[in-house]
Amino acid sequence: MATLGPPASASATTPAHASTLARASAPPLALRVDRIRCDGYGMCAELLPEFIVLDEWGYPIVRPGALPGDLMGLARRAVDVCPVLALALREYQDPPPVRRVPAVSPEREPDHRAIR
Amino acid sequence: MNDQILWFAARGAGVVSLLLFSAVTCLGILTVMRWQSASWPRFLTVELHRNLALLSVVFLVIHIVTAILDPFTALGVLAAAVPFTSSYRPLWVGLGAIALDLLLALVVTSLLRARIGQRAWRAVHWLAYGAWPLAVVHGIGTGSDTSAWWMRGIDIACVFAVGAAVTWRVAAGRSNRSRLAGVVVGRGPAARGA
Amino acid sequence: MTSPSAQTRLLAGPTLSAGAESRRDHLARLGPLPSAAARRDIIPTLEASGLLGRGGAGFPVGRKWRTVAERAAGGTVVLVNGAEGEPLSAKDRALMTLRPNLVLDGAQVAADAVGADEVILYVGSAHVTARWSIEAALAERGGSLTVPTRVVQAPDRYVAGEESAAVHFVNDADARPTTTPPRPFERGIGGRPTLVQNVESIAYAALIARAGDDWYRAAGRADSPGTGLVTVSGVARPGVREIELGATVGEVALAAGAGRDAAPAVLIGGYFGGWATLDEAWDLALDPAGLRAAGRAFGCGVVSFLAPDTCGVTATARIMDYMAGESAAQCGPCVFGLRAIADATARLAGGTAGSDDLARIERWSGQLAGRGACRHPDGAVGLLASALRVFGDEFVRHGAARTCTVGGRRRVAA
Distance from CA of A46 to the nearest CA of B (A): 7
CB spacing of B190 vs C327 below 8 angstroms: no
In this predicted model, which residue has the larger pLDDT, B189 or B140?
A: B140
Q: Which residues of A touch C397 (CB under 8 A)?
A: none
Residue B183 reports pLDDT greater than 90: no
Which site among A48, A81, A82, A90 would you substitute to test the B interface, given the most B Cβ atoms closer than 10 Å to its Cβ? A81
N- to C-terminal Cα distance for chain A? 28
The residue length of chain A stands at 116
A62, β-bridge pairs: A52
The DSSP secondary-structure symbol of C219 reads S
Specify the pLDDT at position B61. Answer: 94
Q: Which residues of C touch A98 (CB under 8 A)?
A: 369
Specify the pLDDT at position B22. Answer: 97
Name every residue whose Cβ is closer than 8 Å to that of residue C252 and which is 6 or more positions away in sequence.
C4, C230, C232, C241, C243, C286, C303
**∠ CA(C152), CA(C153), CA(C158), 5° rounding?**
125
C-contacting residues of B 147-186, CB under 8 Å?
Answer: 179-180, 183, 185-186
**Banded model confidence at residue A6, pLDDT cuts 50, 70, 90:** very low
Cα dihedral C257, C259, C261, C265 sign = positive
Report how far apart, in Å, the C-alpha atoms of B1 and of each of A96, B11, B59, C357 are: 74, 15, 22, 78
The DSSP secondary-structure symbol of A65 reads S
Specify the pLDDT at position C188. Answer: 95
Specify the pLDDT at position B182. Answer: 67
Q: Which residues of B touch A52 (CB under 8 A)?
A: none
DSSP C150-206: EEEEEPS-GGGGSHHHHHHHHHHS--S----SSPTTTS-GGGS-EEEEEHHHHHHHH
pLDDT in tens, chain C (414 residues): 333 344 689 998 888 888 999 999 999 999 999 999 999 999 999 999 999 999 988 899 999 999 999 998 989 999 999 999 999 999 999 999 999 999 999 999 999 999 999 999 999 999 999 999 999 999 999 999 999 999 999 999 999 999 999 999 999 999 999 998 899 999 999 999 999 999 999 999 999 999 999 999 998 887 788 999 999 999 999 999 999 999 999 999 999 998 888 888 999 999 989 999 999 999 999 998 889 888 899 999 999 999 888 899 999 999 999 999 999 999 999 999 999 999 999 999 988 888 899 999 999 998 999 999 999 999 999 999 999 999 999 898 888 877 787 765 555 555
Specify the pLDDT at position B161. Answer: 97
Collapsing DSSP to helix, strand or coil, C345 comes out as helix
Nearest CA in chain B to A85: B118
Distance separating alpha carbons of residues C276 and A67, to the nearest angstrom: 40
Given a contact cutoff of 8 angstroms between Cβ atoms, the answer to whether A82 and A43 are in contact is: yes
**Banded model confidence at residue A101, pLDDT cuts 50, 70, 90:** very low
Name every residue whose Cβ is closer than 8 Å to that of residue B37 and which is 6 or more positions away in sequence.
none
Give pLDDT tens digits for B135-173.
999 999 887 777 889 999 999 999 999 999 999 999 987
In this predicted model, which residue has the larger pLDDT, C226 or B180?
A: C226
Residue A114 reports pLDDT greater than 50: no
Collapsing DSSP to helix, strand or coil, B126 comes out as coil
Burial (0-12, 13-18, 19+ Cβ within 10 Å), B175: exposed
Q: Which residues of A touch B43 (CB under 8 A)?
A: 43, 46-47, 78, 81
Specify the pLDDT at position A19. Answer: 53
Residue C395 is nearest to which of A98, A110, A114, comparing CB atoms? A110
CB spacing of C359 vs A100 below 8 angstroms: no
Q: Which residues of C touch A37 (CB under 8 A)?
A: 179
Give pLDDT tens digits for A64-81.
999 999 999 999 999 999
C194, β-bridge pairs: C77
Alpha-carbon C263 to chain mean position: 23
Residue from B189, B187, B178 nearest C326 by CA: B187
Which site among B185, B187, B192 would you substitute to test the C interface, given the most C Cβ atoms closer than 10 Å to its Cβ? B185
Report how far apart, in Å, the C-alpha atoms of C45 and of each of C31, C62, C211, C315 are: 19, 8, 10, 43
Cα dihedral B186, C382, A40, B120 sign = positive
Given a contact cutoff of 8 angstroms between Cβ atoms, the answer to whether C121 and C151 are in contact is: yes
Report how far apart, in Å, the C-alpha atoms of C401 and of each of A111, C316, C343, C392 are: 11, 19, 19, 14
Specify the pLDDT at position A10. Answer: 43
Q: Which residues of A touch B42 (CB under 8 A)?
A: 41-43, 46
Given a contact cutoff of 8 angstroms between Cβ atoms, the answer to whether B13 and B63 are in contact is: yes
A-contacting residues of B 165-184, CB under 8 Å?
Answer: 178-180
* Residue C391 phi, psi dihedral angles, 5° rounding: -110, 25
The DSSP secondary-structure symbol of C42 reads -
The DSSP secondary-structure symbol of C399 reads I
Q: Is A27 on the interface with C (CB under 8 A)?
A: no
Give pLDDT tens digits for B97-122.
999 999 999 999 999 998 998 889 99
Q: What is the radius of gyration, based on Cα positions, of chain B?
A: 20
Distance separating alpha carbons of residues C143 and C134, to the nearest angstrom: 10
* Residue C9 phi, psi dihedral angles, 5° rounding: -125, -55
Cα dihedral B152, B156, B159, B165 sign = negative
HSE, CB side, 13 Å, CA atoms: give it for residue C217. 11
Which site among A36, A41, A77, A87 would you substitute to test the B interface, given the most B Cβ atoms closer than 10 Å to its Cβ? A41
Q: Is C412 on the interface with A (CB under 8 A)?
A: no
DSSP C245-285: TT-BHHHHHHHTT--TTS-SEEEESGGGSEEEEHHHHHT-B
Residue A81, amino acid: V
Which pTM value belongs to this model? Answer: 0.87
Give pLDDT tens digits for B44-70.
999 999 999 999 999 999 999 998 888
Given a contact cutoff of 8 angstroms between Cβ atoms, the answer to whether C391 and C383 are in contact is: no
* Residue B127 phi, psi dihedral angles, 5° rounding: -60, -15
Residue A102, amino acid: P
Which site among C335, C383, C384 would you substitute to test the B interface, given the most B Cβ atoms closer than 10 Å to its Cβ? C335
